[in-house]
Amino acid sequence: MTPTQQAHEPRAVAQRFASFGASIFAEMTRLAVHHGAVNLAQGFPDFDGPDFIRDAAMQAMREGHNQYCQLAGIPPLTHALADAWSARTGQRRDPSTEVTVTAGCTEALAATFLGLINPGDEVILFDPSYDSYPAYAQMAGATVRWVPLRPPAPGAPDDAPFTFDEGDLRRAFTDRTKAILINTPHNPTGKVFSRDELALIASLCARHNAIAITDEVYERLTFDPALPHISPATIPGLEDRTVALSSLGKTFSFTGWKIGWAIAPRRLTEGLRAAHQHLIFCVATPFQHAAAAAIRAAEQYQPTLNAEYRERRDFLRAALQRLGFRVFATPGTYFVYADHSPFGFPDDVAFCKHLTENVKVAALPPSVLYHDKAEGLRMARFAFCKRMPTLQEGVRRLEAGLRAGS
Ligand code: PMP
Ligand code: GLN
């Protein structure tokens, strides 16, 4: 087909996806590869996860764990997840009826929205949000109510957090609220929700009989002892109304394996499994065996992971600060969030395009993750889930090619 013919073809994309563009993460990686840029845009490690987990996957394949498994996931993994959940939260969940293995956190989110939310329901999202949430709300026929996460005021201390306004949150809850999505630690800002913030959310969920959907994929990537990760399900009022979601990718550096899970009381699990059955039925069997080995080793492995990531975070934050960025606190995730205004670009896309094409370092322009786009225009997100030499090369290029006011 010629380009002219293509231009006259009606768009085939269904209406429910018409308002969503192509993934900014994939687009920035494409640009980074095209321009030979150091890719600090898309959040994936440029190194492999631990050998013992890879070996466990290969062993499972060799041992013949290669056919469909149960819809809920293989028992060694659902039991490992239930045990880890109990150790971390003090709550016992039944592995056969309250733990579900999914294709990454992405499919866990899809199953939760499609299995538990009805057309006409309202879902509360914080702004900015990971790009999948509004897409799943749309697929479920729900209306989104947005609560802005505001950056700290200019001149606030370096560790000042992004916050939300209590009045905004209270106003977002209505008699149609079905769910609120809490992503902690939060992509893209790096925010870790505090106990007081979660307690306020819990009280409103209880009052409005709403559920909490929690995206905790960065749960093991926190760096500030004053702001540990708190699973929202441990907050009084949320224990029996939370669908807790997470995945293997960030903690164990295997983002391509797409092993995730949902832990929720039985009645909520029934809903999400109803969707999971028809979305995917069951997840890659040998990788689940490897995930079970990973989860069983998580507590021993975590200090090493945190120490390595803390060093990379500190290195990148210090470099960006030296270069003249206003750098926000990074208590969690593997992203440094920064204000690029000192460099004089009109918006995040122009800034990140310049960085990728001319400075040869790719960063993520986050305005597509905002409902109120204007709030994202002065921001850029830098991923530090990269080898130290990659970060060093990125910083060397930034120092050589980027000047305040350029
Ligand atoms: N939620 C958030 C906040 C993320 O950053 C990501 C990252 N990719 C996901 C969900 C998707 O996780 P997974 O790769 O396990 O599907
Ligand atoms: N979560 C990753 C990020 O924020 C990317 C995920 C994706 O590419 N869809 O960069």
351-399 confidence digits (pLDDT tens): 999 999 999 999 999 999 999 999 999 999 999 999 999 999 999 999 9
Please tell me the distance between residue 197's alpha carbon and the centre of ligand 2 in angstroms. Answer: 26
Residues 69 and 212 in one domain: yes
- Residue 353 and residue 238 in one domain: no
Report whether residue 185 contacts ligand 1, using a CB cutoff of 6 Å.
no
Q: How many separate domains does the chain show? A: 2
Q: Whose alpha carbon is nearest atom 1 of ligand 2?
A: 43
Q: Which domain holds residue 35?
A: 3-49+301-401
Ligand 1 in contact with 106 (CB < 6 A)?
Answer: yes
Q: Are 364 and 128 in contact (CB under 8 A)?
A: no
- Provide the pLDDT confidence category of residue 73 given band limits of 50, 70 and 90: very high
pLDDT at 21: 84
Place of tokens 């006259």: 8
Best residue among 187, 193, 246 to mutate for probing ligand 1, ranked by most atoms within 8 Å of CB: 187
Q: At 403, is the pLDDT very low, low, confident or very high (cuts 50, 70, 90)?
A: confident
> Is the domain of 232 the same as that of 243?
yes
Ligand 1 nearest atom to the CA of residue 248, by list position: 15
CA of 10 to the centre of ligand 1 (A): 32
How far is CA 17 from its chain centroid?
20
Same domain, 285 and 325: no
* Claim to verify: residue 84 and residue 181 sit in the same structural domain: yes
Q: Which of 81, 243, 247, 252 has the most ligand 1 atoms within 8 A of CB, as the residue to mutate?
A: 247
- What are the Cα distances from residue 151, in Å, to 20, 24, 162, 238, 382? 25, 22, 5, 27, 17
DSSP per-residue codes, 230-287: --GGGSTTTTTSEEEEEESHHHHT-GGG-EEEEE--HHHHHHHHHHHHHHTSS--HHH
Q: Which CATH number goes with the domain that contains 378?
A: 3.90.1150.10
Q: How far is the CA of 286 from the centre of ligand 2 (A)?
A: 24
Q: How confident is the model at residue 337 (pLDDT cuts 50, 70, 90)?
A: very high
Give me 125's structure tokens.
Answer: 């999202």
Residue that terminates a domain, selected from 238, 272, 299: 299
Q: Is 100 in the pocket of ligand 2 (CB under 6 A)?
A: no
Å from CA of 203 to ligand 1 middle: 27
Q: Amino acid identity of 238?
A: L
The sheet with strand 211-215 has its strands ordered as: 99-103, 259-263, 242-247, 211-215, 177-183, 122-127, 143-148
Give the mutation target among 106, 254, 368, 369 for probing the ligand 1 site: most ligand atoms within 8 A of CB.
Answer: 106
Query: 68 in a domain, yes or no?
Result: yes
Q: For helices 266-279 and 104-116, what crossing angle results, to 10°?
A: 110
Rounded to an integer, what distance in angstroms lies between the CA atom of residue 151 and that of residue 137? 25
For range 193-209, the mean pLDDT? 98
For 256-272, what is the mean pLDDT? Answer: 98
Last residue of some domain: 264, 299, 334?
299
Number of other CB atoms surrounding residue 312 within 10 Å: 19
For ligand 2, atom 4, name the residue with the nearest CA.
43
Q: Are residues 293 and 310 in the same domain?
A: no
* Whether pLDDT at 22 is above 90: no
Last residue of a domain, one of 266, 299, 332: 299
Does ligand 1 lie within 6 Å of residue 247's CB atom? yes
Length of the chain in residues, anyone?
A: 406
| Cα–Cα distance, 94 to 79 (Å, whole number) | 8
Residue 117 sits in the same domain as residue 153: yes
Q: Is residue 289 a part of any domain in this protein?
A: yes
Question: Taking the CB of residue 50, how many other CB atoms lie within 10 A of it?
Answer: 17
| Claim to verify: residue 194 and residue 245 sit in the same structural domain | yes
**In contact, 185 and 331? CB cutoff 8 Å:** yes
Phi-psi region at 193: left, alpha or beta (left = phi > 0; alpha = psi -120 to 50): beta
Residue 223: pLDDT over 90: yes
Q: Rounded distance, CA 128 to CA 399, Å?
A: 29
Within this chain, do residues 58 and 40 fall inside the same structural domain, yes or no? no
CA–CA dist 39, 394 (Å, integer): 8
Q: Which sign does the torsion angle of CA 123, 228, 382, 305 carry? A: negative
pLDDT band at 404 (very low <50, low <70, confident <90, very high): low
* Domain-embedded: residue 16: yes
284 and 305 belong to one structural domain? no
**Which pTM was predicted?**
0.96
For 292-333, the pLDDT digits (tens) are: 999 999 989 989 999 999 999 999 999 999 999 999 999 999
Same domain, 277 and 356: no
CATH number assigned to the domain comprising residue 278: 3.40.640.10
Q: Is residue 406 part of a domain?
A: no
Distance 234 CA to ligand 2 centre (A): 27
For residues 295 and 327, state if they share a domain: no
Pairing label, strands 326-327, 335-339:
antiparallel
